[in-house]
Structure formats: structure tokens, C-alpha cells
A and B are shown apart, each in its own frame.
Chain A
């Protein structure tokens, strides 16, 4: 059974075409991440799925039912917002139970579900607290708890980690992955952070300027990007691009090579001038320029180079990607 099926979704704001003919499928139990730079339409797409906005054309099926005109509450979804959107005048328990009360669930069911969700998220001792008394991480967990108690067919996450600090973000990421396994629910997760996408997703949907650029598993996208945009977006530090004539004369293609696939060698085909060195302990990132292009090289271990010197570098041809001038794979 498919949890979500979008076919030919288009969305206009006035004359602006923000979503262009989007079709995709999410299987039951799958964790799908929409990723792309800001303004690419990923949040808008999520809001269309939630029913907070109407599509201009196209069909939305959730659990194989057409939901085009169904109001958000009746779609069997639950949403976690970027700003958490907790009701500030209600305590944690009432934040979590509001939707269930609207659904007219019995008191026993409500009590049970709140107990289960708060145990799962370690919120038992905060049930009577108000959102203003909680830390950022706790608020985030309440927001997730509010979604869990509804036992939805589909979870929607709208950049849920972007308001947390780096350490908490890493923890919560693991937490969300654990929840996904425990609940075995279908989840859609929107982010602009490719690390979150790579670590959480079963399937990544890369979006750019209102279009889907590529859909696939994290390694599939990393190993076999469909075009230059996906190649540059997935992977950190991001892929280096050189004009083809740097290697072969009269080659009009663009060569893409990942920072980890570059190495220093005496007779390298390329030469870079080192601009900056990032020493991370385990890795060393060397940032330089070659043919007026910025180049990042990622070396394992610790290395000593001097800023301002020239180094010869090379790569394995088998690990290079080639793109046509229009950005497609060649």
C-alpha cells in the first residue's frame, strides 16, 4: 500500500509557478526526505500534502484516498512545525490532547496515548508544565509528542531541527530515526540540510526551483547523481567542478569530483594554490583555487601545508562525474 501518492502537482501564487508538475510515491513505513535550497518549494509541497494550502492542479492520495478537498484534520496526518507551534496558553498535556478531544476520543484512549507518547519521549515529568517553562529540546519533543498521540497514517516534519543548537540537533536526529523504527510509520521530512537528509532518509527527494531533480536512496544519490545540481547538493563538503579543458583540451564538459577523491601527488594533472586550511583532527580540509574555481580537498588524518603555496593534485578518472554544459550527466 502506498502511504502517499502525488500526481502532477502544480502550484501557482499569482503568476509565480512555485511547484512544477510534481509526482512521487511514498510507500508505507518509508522515511522520505524533501531536501533542497531555501525557496525551492519543499515546504510549500508539505503544506499542500497537509491540506493547509490548495493545489492549483494535480491529485493528492493519502492511503490511496483522494484528499484534494479534505480538510487537514481529516487527512490522517500529523505535522511538526519548524517553530514547534505549541499552544502557549495550554500545558503540555493539553497541547497533546487537544486534537484527540476534537476527534471525540474517549478519556481512556486519550489517557493511554498520552502516557505512551510521554514515556517514549521522556516527557512524563513535564506534563503539567507550560511551553514557556521548557527548553528548546523539550519543546521539540512536545511537538513530536503532539503528533504521535494522534497515531496518524503519515507524519509531516517541517524543518524540525533548524531551531536547535548543533549538539541537540545531532541527538534529536538519532531520536527521530529511533522513533521511526519504533512507530513503523510513514514519515515525510523537509530540510535544507543534506546531512539530515542523508542520515535519516530511506528515500530522498531533491528539489530545486519547484522541480524534483532526482528521487533515490542516499547512496544512490551520492554515487549516481542525475545532474550537476544533485551532485553539488549531496555530500559535504560539496563536489568540486572543473572545466573539462583543464584535463583534456577541447573538452566542453564539466568534471565533478568529490573532495574526498582528490589527493596530493608530485605529477598531478591539476595544480591548486592553497587559500585556507581547516584542521578538524581526523580530517584536513584544504581550500584552494584552480583555474579561478574554488576547490576543496578532503584528506584523512593530519597534514601540514602552507597557505599560499601551490600543490599538484590528481584524481582517479573512474571516480569523476561528467556533466554537459546544461548540467545533465554526460
Chain B
């Protein structure tokens, strides 16, 4: 095992593949970032060049920061993403705990029912959702988005977390009971810390689609006050003229929070993805 790992040609080949993949994956992001600092003409003439003294321009950022309600959109996106993630993780893990820990009639059926949503794209129900939101008066509020994203995220969250929670030893939970913890304390103080890698995995899988979503903000919350960042950036994309400087700048800035959240979760995520395989 250790011999194979230190084998130079194999390790070299492995790293080459990984580096090439990394470059391919990072390339579009890099192009966006580079071009966001260029003047409009330079974006089209020399899209792959670094910005130099002639072509350097922050006009895109200026436009974004002065024209659109950038900070409001940013804040809306942040609120929606964090609130959705928090709710998905809280209720998803609670449901998963109940399914994995308690024996009750219809346990398996309930588990299957809750996981069914994985196979049904939520967008199919857009019209019904819109009607429901209109009826409840939630259209053009962030609540509408949060509710939809929670519904979209829960099935997979419950499915993954149930599997992880089954692995938490029964003795450990019983030890907690003997030590005087109630069921909520066992859940919050013993089980949740032990499935933290799984929680991080679920958080990352849910975070990115929510942050990037254009569909539901466009339909459920297109009002100026509640626009998310992705929707807000669309003002710069017109039918006839597109302000590429602004679009690229807005996109560059939209990447930052995702990067920050990802860094927070990533250490846990790697453990979460490999924990089943290595142990």
C-alpha cells in the first residue's frame, strides 16, 4: 500500500491528471475574473489576455455598484441561501433521526415517501406552487423562495442523513439515556456532532443550486425589493445590448460568498464523502 503511494511515475501521472482537470474546471471562472477587469473593447478583442495598463478598467464594477441594487440583491441571496440551508439541515436531520432511531408502524414507508422527492423535479409543479403562493400572499417575498428550496432540499437531505445516522452506535445513544440526556439532547449533543461531515455534504449539495437558481426567483419573487443576485444580474443582459462588463463583474462578486461557505464546509465535506469508503 505505502509502496504504491510513493511510486514516482504513478504519482506523477496521478497529479498530472488532477492538475489538468483543475485547470479545465477553473478556466471559465478565470476568464470571467480576468475580463471583469477589462474595458469593453478588450473583452471582445483579446478575451484571454491579462488586463494591462491600456485595457484595465473597473467600469463593470462601477456600473454594478452604482446602478443595480447590488447590495440588496446580495443580501437577499444570502438570506435565502442561509435560511434554506439552516431549515433543510434542521428538519432533515430531525426526520432522519426519527427514521433511523425509532421503530414505529410504517417507518420504511415513511422513509420511502420522504425520499420520493429526489426523483421528482420540483419545477414540474411550478404552476401549482405559484398558485399556492398567490393564494397565501407569499408572492414577492423571500419566504416563498425559502419554502420552495426547503421542499426541494429535504428529500435528499433525509435520505443521506438517515444512512449516516444508522451508523451512530446504539450503545452510544443508550449511554446518553443512562447519563440522563433526553431525546433532544441526545440528538443535538451526541448524534449531530457525530454526523457533522454528512451535514456539511448535504449543505454543499444544496447551497450551490440555491445560490445559482434563476427559475424560482424569476417566477415567485421578481419584485425589486426581493430580487436575488442571479436575477439581479439579468438586468445587464438585454435583448439587444448586453453590458458584458457589468455581467462579468456581478458574476465575479457572486462567486465570493459561495467560495467562503464552501471553504467552511469543505474540510468536513471531504471527510463526509470518504467516510464510508475508508473506515
Contacts and interface: CB of A to CB of B under 8 A. Distances in A.
Interface of A: 47, 50-52, 71-74, 77-79, 81-89, 98-99, 102-103, 146
Given A87-B190, A89-B194, A81 B177 contact: no
Contacts of A99: 178-180
A83 B178 contact: no
Contacts of A88: 194
Interface in B118-149: none
16 contacts: A47-B174, A52-B177, A52-B178, A71-B177, A72-B174, A73-B177, A77-B178, A79-B174, A79-B175, A81-B175, A83-B169, A85-B174, A87-B172, A87-B190, A99-B178, A102-B180
Interface string B169-208: 1011011111111000000001001100000000000000
Nearest to B168: A88
A228 to B, nearest CB: 34
Contact of B172 (A71, A77, A85, A103): A85
Contacts of A102: 179-181
A74 to B, nearest CB: 8
A187 B171 CA distance: 19
Nearest to A102: B180
Nearest to A77: B178
A165 B178 CA distance: 27
A74 B190 CA distance: 20
Contacts, number: 55
A81 B169 CA distance: 11
A146 to B, nearest CB: 8
Q: Which 7 A-B pairs have the closest CB atoms?
A: A73-B180, A102-B180, A99-B179, A85-B171, A85-B175, A81-B171, A85-B172
A175 B140 CA distance: 69
Nearest to A83: B171
Contacts of A84: 171
Nearest to A52: B174
Contacts of B194: 88-89
Interface residues of B, number: 14
B179 A50 contact: no
Contact of B178 (A50, A86, A89): A50
Contact of B171 (A74, A82, A103): A82
A98 B171 CA distance: 16
Contacts of B178: 50, 52, 72-73, 77-79, 99
Contacts of A50: 174, 178
A42 to B, nearest CB: 16
A50 B180 CA distance: 12
A81 B171 CA distance: 7
Of the candidates A72, A74, A78, A83, the one having the most CB atoms from chain B within 10 angstroms of its own CB is A72
Contacts of A81: 171, 174-175
Of the candidates A47, A73, A78, A82, the one having the most CB atoms from chain B within 10 angstroms of its own CB is A73
A98 B181 CA distance: 9
A242 B180 CA distance: 53
A50 B170 CA distance: 14
A47 B172 CA distance: 14
B180 A103 contact: yes
Contacts of B193: 89
A71 B179 CA distance: 10
A109 to B, nearest CB: 15
Contacts of B190: 87
A11 to B, nearest CB: 15
Contacts of A72: 174, 177-178, 180
A98 B176 CA distance: 9
Contacts of A77: 178
Nearest to A79: B178
Contacts of B176: 87
Of the candidates A84, A86, A98, A103, the one having the most CB atoms from chain B within 10 angstroms of its own CB is A98
A280 B30 CA distance: 74
A73 B169 contact: no
A185 to B, nearest CB: 16
